[in-house]
Amino acid sequence: MPKIFTTIGMYVLLMQKVFSRPQKRRIYWNQLMSEINSLGLESLGIVAFISAFMGAVVAIQTAYNITSPLIPMSMVGFTVRQSVILEFSPTVISLILAGKVGSRIASEIGTMRVTEQIDALEIMGVNSANYLIFPKITALILINPVLIVFSMWMGILGGWVAMVASSLVSTNDFVSGIRIGFQGYTIFYAITKTIFFAFIISSVSGFYGYITRGGALEVGQASTKAVVFSSVIIILFNLVLTQLLLT
Amino acid sequence: MIEARNINKTFGEHHVLKDVSCIFEKGKTNLIIGQSGSGKTVLMKCLVGLFEVDSGMVSYDDRNFTTMNFEQRKTLRQEIGMLFQGGALFDSMNVEENVMFPLNMFTSQTVAEKLERVNFVLNRVNLENVNYLMPSELSGGMRKRVAIARAIAMKPQYLFCDEPNSGLDPHTSGVIDHLIREITEEYDITTIVNTHDMNSVLSIGDSVAYIYEGKLWWKGNKETILHTDNPELNEFVFGTELTSRLKK
C-alpha cells in the first residue's frame, strides 16, 4: 500500500515540473505541432477502422434483437447513436489510444532516459519534464476530441452501411432513429470525458517513461505499465465522470 | 576550478561515496579513475547535480552548487558541457540539430549565426559534411565527436566526460583523448574525465584522482602514477596483461 502513495507522490511532483512555462515558445510550438501529427493524426486510420466496424456490429446486433413488431426499426439508429456517442467513442477509443499512444510515449521517453538523453537535457539546463511531457499532454488534449468526434461519425456511418448492405433497416428508418430525442449535451459529456482521458493517457505514460531506470527490459516494462495503469485509471474515471455528468 | 568537499552519497544501504574531497583545476584535464563500481560515475553525477549529495559541498569557482535552487542551477548549467558514455545524442534530430539544440534553447542568435557556430564546432572536432546525418548513421567515434561539439557549442567553462573511450578502438580513443586535451587548453576550461583506460591516464592525465571503494585513495598525475607504492592503485594500473609485462 505505501508504494502506491509513493508512486502518486512521485507523479504529483513530476507534474509540478511538467506544468511550468516552456523555455522557448517557438520550440514548444514546433514540438506541439509535431506531437499532434505523430500522436493524433497518425491514429486516424486505426480509429476510423475500429469505429466503423464497431458501429456496424452494434447495428446488426440491435437489429437482430428487435423481434417485437411494437418496436420500430428506427430504434437501431437510435441505439447506434447513443452507444457510439455516450460510451463507445469516448471510452473504448480512448482505451485503444491508451495502448497505441501510451506505449509510444512511455517507450520514447523511457529510451531517452536509459540512453542518458534526459540527463543531457538536464545538464544543459533544460527542464526535461516540461520539454518532453508538456507538449504531449497539450497535443493529446487538443487532438483527441477531434479523433473522438471523427470516431462518432465513422461509428454511425458504419452502422448505416451495415444496415443498408444487409437490408435489415432502411435508410429512412436508420436516419430517423438517429434524430430521435437527440441532446447536444451528450456530445459535451463525451468530449469532457475525452479531455480527461487524454490527460490521463499522456501524463501517466509520460510518468512511467520518465521514471524508467535500467535498459531495454525496463523500457518494455515501463511501456506495459503505462498502458495498464492508463487503462485502469480511464475505467475508474469513466465511472466517476459518468456519475457526475449524467446524474 | 571545481571543488568537492566531504561528499557522501548512499543508495539504500549501500554507501557509495565516503567523504570524498577533491579539487579539479582550471586549464587541466582532471581524471577520475577507478575500477567499475568504485563510485567514479556517482561522483561525477554528484558534481553536476544529477544526483543530490547526502552531505558535503560542491562549488564551481567558489559558487556553492549544493545550496543553489533550481533556477540558479539552470543558469550555472549553461556553463557546463558534458560528454556522456554513449554520446546521448537526441535520436530524433540530425547532427546539425543536435549541436544547434543548446543554441536554440538559450541564445537569441539568428539562424545564420547559429549555423556558423555549429559548423565551427563540428570543424573543431574534425567532422565535415555530416550535418544532415542522423545519430544512427554515425560510427561510435563520430558520435563521441558530435557529442563533444554539442558540449562545447555554448563555450562552456566546465567540461565533463564520462568514460569518453568506452566502446572505441585504441586509435579512436587516442583521437578523442587528444581532442579533449586540446579543447581544455584552447578554451582554458576545467575538464573532468571519468575513465578506467590507462592509455588516457598516461596521455592526458594532468591530474589524476583514484577512487577506491568510494574513497579518494590517491591523487597525483600521469608521471607519479607509475611510481607509487600504493598497492590498490598498483593493482589497478598494472592489472592488465600488457601493463604487467611492461612493468616487468
Is A24 within 8 Å of B90 when comparing Cβ atoms?
A: no
Taking the Cβ of residue B107 and every Cβ of chain A, the question of whether any pair is shorter than 8 Å is answered with no
pLDDT tens per residue, range A46-96: 999 999 999 999 999 999 998 888 899 999 999 999 999 999 999 999 999
Q: Is the dihedral of CA A163, A167, A170, A171 positive or negative?
A: positive
Distance from the A111 Cα atom to the nearest Cα atom in chain B, whole angstroms:
10
B39 Rama sector, left if φ>0, alpha if ψ -120 to 50, beta otherwise: left
Is A122 within 8 Å of B102 when comparing Cβ atoms?
A: no
Give the N- to C-terminal CA distance of chain A in Å, as an integer.
32
d(CA B49, CA B62): 16
Residues forming a β-bridge with B55: B8
A39 close to A140: Cβ distance less than 8 angstroms: yes
For residue B91, which residues of chain A lie inside 8 Å, CB to CB?
Answer: 111-112, 115, 117
pLDDT of res. B86: 86
Q: Indicate the pLDDT class of residue A206, thresholds 50, 70 and 90.
A: very high
**Grid coordinates given for A21:** 512555462
ipTM: 0.88
Q: For residue B214, give the H/E element and its range.
A: none
pLDDT of res. A3: 86
Residues with Cβ within 8 Å of residue A16, at least 6 apart in sequence: none
B193 close to B161: Cβ distance less than 8 angstroms: yes
Buried b (16+ CB within 10 A) or exposed e, A89-118: bbbbbbbbbbbebbbbbbbbbbbbbbbbbb
Average pLDDT rounded to a whole number, residues A152-167: 96
Nearest CA in chain B to A31: B92
For residue B88, which residues of chain A lie inside 8 Å, CB to CB?
Answer: 115-117, 119-120
Is B105 within 8 Å of A115 when comparing Cβ atoms?
A: no
CA-wise closest residue to B92 among A164, A193, A109: A109
Is B88 within 8 Å of A125 when comparing Cβ atoms?
A: no
Taking the Cβ of residue B106 and every Cβ of chain A, the question of whether any pair is shorter than 8 Å is answered with yes
Q: Indicate the pLDDT class of residue A1, thresholds 50, 70 and 90.
A: low
pLDDT tens per residue, range B151-192: 999 999 999 999 898 888 888 888 889 999 999 999 999 999
Choose the mutation target among B105, B107, B144 for the interface with A, i.e. most A CBs under 10 Å: B105
Average pLDDT rounded to a whole number, residues A230-244: 96
Nearest CA in chain B to A117: B88
pLDDT tens per residue, range A101-141: 999 999 999 999 999 999 999 999 899 999 999 999 999 99
Which of the residues in chain B have pLDDT under 50?
Answer: none
Mean pLDDT (chain A, rounded): 94
The domains found in chain B, sorted by start residue, are 2-79+158-247 (3.40.50.300), 90-155 (no CATH)
d(CA B57, CA A17): 25
Distance from the A98 Cα atom to the nearest Cα atom in chain B, whole angstroms:
23
Choose the mutation target among A26, A115, A130 for the interface with B, i.e. most B CBs under 10 Å: A115
Please give the torsion angle defined by the CA atoms of residues A59, A60, A64 and A70, in that order, rounded to the nearest 10 degrees: 20
For residue B90, which residues of chain A lie inside 8 Å, CB to CB?
Answer: 112, 117, 120
Q: How many CB atoms lie within 10 A of CB A151?
A: 31
Is A125 within 8 Å of B75 when comparing Cβ atoms?
A: yes
pLDDT of res. B199: 86
Nearest CA in chain A to B46: A123
Give percent helix, percent strand, percent coil of chain B, each to the nearest 5: 40, 25, 35
Query: Domain residue spans in chain A?
Result: 38-246
Angle at CA of residue A40, ends A35 and A43, nearest 5°: 130
